[in-house]
Amino acid sequence: MIRCFLVINNFGKPRLMKFYERLSNEERQRVIESAYGLVSKRLEDLCNFVEDDSLFGGETQLIYRHFATLYFIVICDKAESELGILDLIQVYVETLDKSFENVCELDIIFNQQKAGLILDQMVTGGLVLETNSQEIVSKYKELERNMKQQERELKSPVASSPRTF
Amino acid sequence: MSSGGGYRGLQNFINEIRQCQSKEGERARIDKELANIRTKFKQDRGLSSYEKKKYIWKLLYIYVLGYDVEFGHMEAVALISSTKFSEKQVGYIAASVLLHENLEFVRLVINTMQKDLVSRDENYQCMALTAIANMGGREFAEALSGEVLKLLISSSTRNVVRKKAALCVLRLFRRNPDIISSDTFALKMGNLLQERDLGVLISSMSLLCGIVAKDSQGYEVVVPKVVAVLERVAKGIDIPQDYTYYGIPSPWLHVKCLRVLHYFPVIENDGVWTKLQEILRRTISSAPIDKNTNKNNALHAILFESISLMMHLNMDSEVLSQCVTLLGKFVSIKEPNIRYLGLENMSRLSLVPEMMQTIKAHQEQIVVSLNDPDISVRRRALDLLFRVCDRDNSHEIVDKLLAYLTTADFAIREELALKIAILSEKFASSLQWYVDVIISLIDKAGDHVSDQVWFRVVQIVTNNEELQAHCASNVLRKLQDGSSHETMLKLSAYVLGEFGQLLRGEAREIFHLLKDRLGSATPAAKGLILSAFAKILVRCGDEDISQQIRETFQRYGTIPDAELQQRSVEYAVLSAKKEAATVMATMPKFPERESSLLKMMQPEGGEGSLPAARSRAGMDAAGDALPAAASGDLLGLDDAIEAAPVVPLSVSEPAAAAPQGDPLDLLAGLSVAEPTPAADAAQASVAAAADPFGGFQDLTAPQDAGGEGANARVEGGTVEGWYSKLCISEKGVLYQDQYLQIGLKADYAKAQGRIMLFLGNKHEGELGQVQISVPPVPAYRIQPGQVPASIAAKAQVQIPIAVSCVEPTLDVPKLQVVYRVKGDAVKLDLQLPVVPTKFFSPVANVDANAFFSAWKAIPDAPLKLQQICQTQQPLDMNRTRALVGSAGFTVAEGMDPSQSNVVGVGAFNCEISGETVVMLRLEVDPRSHQQYRITVASNNALLTSSTKEFLVRELGR
């Protein structure tokens, strides 16, 4: 089971986090920090697996991929196939790429909700839900259409409301 | 939901945060925003839908940055119940990020979720399912599992909902396994697996995997269906283009199918078995290496999972050898992920005894991996080398490991040092080799070598004359080369003091090397150096050295450290006496005992840090590699405890060697007694650490003493909890997992006890190769009865164990139980609930006068011990009295007028000293009942301390 899915930038700033386990905010921050500490030290041409029992206790593994300015990190138990998770990260990034057109860190910063929703279509409750990139994108588009429709209905009050700051 | 979700305010806010130059600036900006949002939420005018969503998004953003946004939870919950799709959506997203299980809020949303689940709108259903699956929660399991299961099974559910429902059921099942039962659900599971849609199949397979991982019983009917799905993906039949990943039909589904089959002990249907074998063989033989990394990854994911399954299914060794050859290729491949997994899977295969030879053929490649640029790979290589080490290749492997030690990362040095120590002892071809290895080990990684290791060297060298000169010259060389680590220094001081005279003409050199290091040495090492000096002084005729040593003694005779001061004064006086030569003679040989290092290896249990012994027949027995004459044990914990009191006691005994009338008489007695091997070692080890096992304990002794292999899981309690209950009662459960239950019933009379173990097989298959052993403990004589080789399904066998108490002790006897299930050996390390209080017999008619005079007659520590303790829960006086009673004491009612005090007497029986009276006084703070003072008195220090320790532990529960 996947325990958490993290996207952290090169400087250790979390850009997206999804925990499938009950942790307090402090514990989450600790996991993020130590995960970043582990992967940021590693050179590019090393393997994508790190073991550290201090993260979540024994029997867990950290699997990550580094794309440009972002680390995509999955912490999961030993029941998951290491390479399967690597592939999953790849599918996630490919899907983001399809829906953002050349995804970059800024896209994720300003569209957390979108990145999160796409992840929800792929991983639910710590398990792989869907790996078909097409299906994920079209499902997301459908959601977006629904949202848009509602936005339009609400358009008038939005236009008249003053800027908040 | 275009850029920034269409919320300009949110976008601006994110921009501002990004422009903050410092953490403080960010904090200030966020605090300001939180204050703003708080007022907005509080104001009377209702917020517009747009505003509500915007603020929740802001809160989420702030939360991701690590700030607390507790006050926004209620707003998020409120949004979920909204009738507007977009608000509900935001609410659910926020809830699954912000809220955790068991919070009050969770209960608030259950109602809304239920409504959404039964609504006709599949978007609502999906949102609710995703949130439930992400948040989990027992409350959800109780309230919502019915609806979720309906969605999973109903034929009218659309696939997009069904696959979410499958994962949702799994999450709820993990919180409450009772929501489904195999009788009804197995068939439904079978139907789900006949689904054509791959998305549904993946999540159904995950659900099945989660269920059978817990218990596969009752789900055997779905195996043919799983294999059918496996065949479909393996052969690429009817796989839509969208579900191929770099041209490979859904590798995730493929891997999941293989993983599910792991949880079934056997494949019963012959046709299915043949089909499965064929699929697996095809995977192995067509293992290509592709240029595209992603495609390569997917192919290997399938391959590694297949290898793992073949091992589990015990396929013939020819195929497994083929796997090893394949893995061997991977180990030297350029792609680091494949190298890593190649090593990892090879480690797994090394558990199959027949595979060892084939794996050893790749030893050289594995050694090369020790210098891999990647620490993850290096760790794997180290682990694998440790597993494949045996007597044939131990020299080579240990040499490599020693060479590696100097360049190894600090993070793994400790583990490496331990592994070298264990391998060299386990597979030593000669004692000289062992001693040399350990000396190099201490030299290179002194910090990571515990005292036991050098004690062991001393013991072996003392017992084997032919090694003495060799060892002395070895450590001398190390000192000459500049080695000055504390452990090295202790060992050198001891060895050179004892055997330095065997190196002719080196006395001056030895003295100077030690003297140079004396000033900066730790007190423990200083003590050993002083002892070495005393020996040199007596044996070496060199007047110049003798003079310097006397001066050293004189100088240390006035330093504040009492121990060193005493040593120096005594040595100075002693060396002037004619008996000095006798007293300072070479140490006698140590008594033969089991090696403590190996002893530590035996209770090795579940954690898998040192899994070499697991399922490798004969490996445990390999401990006898060292000749019996050498396997004395001056290192054990037992000695440290038993020997420690000897030192102070001998103060009052007249010393045979000391002449009458000397003012130093009494102290001289001590100094004669002091260098006896056990006492010396005990002192050093007591000084070294409160935990004489040092780093070993963590790695070798399982924390929970649980089982290993075959996924044996402790059920219905904890090993510690059962043990502790049995310490104060005579029957109950000692251990339980899903295969085996061990019950215990005991009967004690005076110094004898009779324990009956009831081994019940809870499982449908046979438990084979059952073994029970109780490693010897000096204080008890324990004789387990005959153990049948196997226990039939659902059967129970009884095994009697006879126990006699020889003397009081702090040790608790171990009980090792081994059995084989589903082809895996399970090894349990338990403790027998045999504690000194079990040998208490009741005392009739406690007379107050007799009690008080006996109480007063016993002097202070160590015979009378007192301790003040805090408890977490207030002590209930009735329960406390009952506990004291069930621990074997006769509670003397009315002896102490205070209601919150308990006085008890027990008569302890053992073979050495017959009956010893133990008295107890427990004073509980009458106000808080959370603090108490316990006093235990008896005429035996060990009995007093073990009884006190035991009661403190029990009262603390």
- CATH code of the domain in which B691 resides: 1.25.10.10
Q: How far apart are the C-alpha atoms of B678 and B641, rounded to whole Å?
A: 10
Domain edge (last residue) among B180, B203, B221: B180
Tell whether B190 is covered by a domain.
Answer: no
- Please list the ranges in chain B whose pLDDT falls under 50: 1-4, 600-709
SS3 B718: coil
Diameter of chain A measured on Cα atoms: 55
Contact B198 A132 (CB under 8 A): yes
Distances (CA, A) of B175 to A20, B36, B856: 13, 39, 58
Same domain, B113 and B88: no
Q: How far apart are the C-alpha atoms of A128 and B202, rounded to whole Å?
A: 8
Distances (CA, A) of B518 to A79, B476, B493, B523, B779: 55, 15, 10, 9, 40
User: Mutate which of B57, B206, B304, B384 to test chain A, going by most A C-beta atoms within 10 A?
Assistant: B206
Report DSSP state, residue B500. G
Could you list the residue range(s) of the whole structural domain that residue B914 is in?
837-955
Which residue from A138, A120, A102, A83 is spatially nearest to A5, judged by alpha carbons? A120
Same domain, B450 and B577: yes
- CATH code of the domain in which B909 resides: 3.30.310.10
Tell whether the torsion through CA atoms of B558, B560, B562 and B567 is positive or negative.
negative
Distance from CA of A70 to the nearest CA of B (A): 16
Same domain, B542 and B680: yes
Same domain, B841 and B916: yes
Number of Cβ within a 10 Å radius of residue B505: 6
Into how many domains does chain B fold? 5
Q: Which residue of A has its CA nearest to B5?
A: A111
Contact B340 A84 (CB under 8 A): no
Question: Looking at residue B190, what is its pLDDT?
Answer: 92
A60-67 and A49-50: which strand pairing? antiparallel
Report whether pLDDT(A111) > 50.
Answer: yes
CB A61 within 8 A of CB A82: yes
CB of A93 less than 8 A from some CB of B:
no
Same domain, B818 and B871: no
Q: How far apart are the C-alpha atoms of A59 and B363, rounded to whole Å?
A: 26
Summarize pLDDT for B218-234 with one digit per residue, the tens.
899 999 999 999 999 99
CB of B46 less than 8 A from some CB of A:
no
Nearest to A84 among B66, B301, B607 (CB): B301
Same domain, B557 and B655: yes
CB of B294 less than 8 A from some CB of A:
yes
CB of B376 less than 8 A from some CB of A:
yes
Q: How far apart are the C-alpha atoms of B252 and B245, rounded to whole Å?
A: 9
Contact A127 B210 (CB under 8 A): yes
Mean pLDDT, residues A128-140 taken together: 86
Cβ neighbours of residue B108 under 8 Å, at least 6 residues apart? B77
Domain edge (last residue) among B665, B696, B727: B696
Same domain, B864 and B799: no
Tell whether B117 is covered by a domain.
Answer: yes
Contacts of B160 in chain A (CB under 8 A): 139
Residue written as token pair 């909700």: A113
The partner residues of B322 in beta bridges, in order of sequence, read none
Report whether pLDDT(A106) > 70.
Answer: yes
Residue written as token pair 């490996």: B619
Euclidean distance between the first and final Cα of chain A, in Å?
43
Contacts of B12 in chain A (CB under 8 A): 165
B625 or A111, higher pLDDT = A111
Same domain, B562 and B609: yes
Tell whether B342 is covered by a domain.
Answer: no
User: Mutate which of A110, A134, A156 to test chain B, going by most B C-beta atoms within 10 A?
Assistant: A110
CB B601 within 8 A of CB B613: yes
Cβ neighbours of residue B24 under 8 Å, at least 6 residues apart? none
Give the torsion through C-alpha atoms of B181, B183, B185, B189, to 10 deg.
130
Diameter of chain B measured on Cα atoms: 105
SS3 B584: coil
Go through the domains of chain A in sequence order and give each one's CATH number: 2-157 (3.30.450.60)
Cβ neighbours of residue B943 under 8 Å, at least 6 residues apart? B808, B836, B908, B916, B918
H-only helix segments in B636-676: 637-643, 646-651, 665-673
Tell whether B403 is covered by a domain.
Answer: yes
Tell whether B408 is covered by a domain.
Answer: yes
SS3 A92: helix
Flag whether B235 is marked binding. Answer: no
Tell whether B933 is covered by a domain.
Answer: yes
Question: Looking at residue B646, what is its pLDDT?
Answer: 29
CB of A147 less than 8 A from some CB of B:
yes
For residue B824, which phi and psi values (nearest 5 degrees)? -110, 145
CB of A41 less than 8 A from some CB of B:
no
SS3 A163: coil
Q: How far apart are the C-alpha atoms of B273 and A6, rounded to whole Å?
A: 40
Cβ neighbours of residue A56 under 8 Å, at least 6 residues apart? A3, A31, A75
Which residue from B296, B204, B319 is spatially nearest to B257, judged by alpha carbons? B204
Locate B654 and state its tokens: 């007249």
CB B173 within 8 A of CB B179: yes
Query: Residue type for B89, please?
Result: Q
> How far out from the chain centre does Cα B641 lie?
24
Q: How far apart are the C-alpha atoms of B846 and B835, rounded to whole Å?
A: 24
Same domain, B644 and B691: yes
Query: Residue type for B254, please?
Result: H
Number of Cβ within a 10 Å radius of residue B741: 18
B914-924 and B931-937: which strand pairing? antiparallel
Contacts of A132 in chain B (CB under 8 A): 198-199, 242-243
Domain edge (last residue) among B696, B730, B745: B696
Same domain, B742 and B852: no
CB of B702 less than 8 A from some CB of A:
no
Q: How far apart are the C-alpha atoms of B688 and B690, rounded to whole Å?
A: 7
CB A131 within 8 A of CB B239: no
Same domain, B842 and B757: no
Flag whether B794 is marked binding. Answer: no
Report DSSP state, residue B95. H
Same domain, B63 and B112: no
Using the CB atoms, write b or e for B742-756: b if 16+ within 10 Å.
bbbebebebbebebe
Q: How far apart are the C-alpha atoms of B620 and B599, rounded to whole Å?
A: 10
B740-749 and B731-736: which strand pairing? antiparallel
> How far out from the chain centre does Cα B557 lie?
45
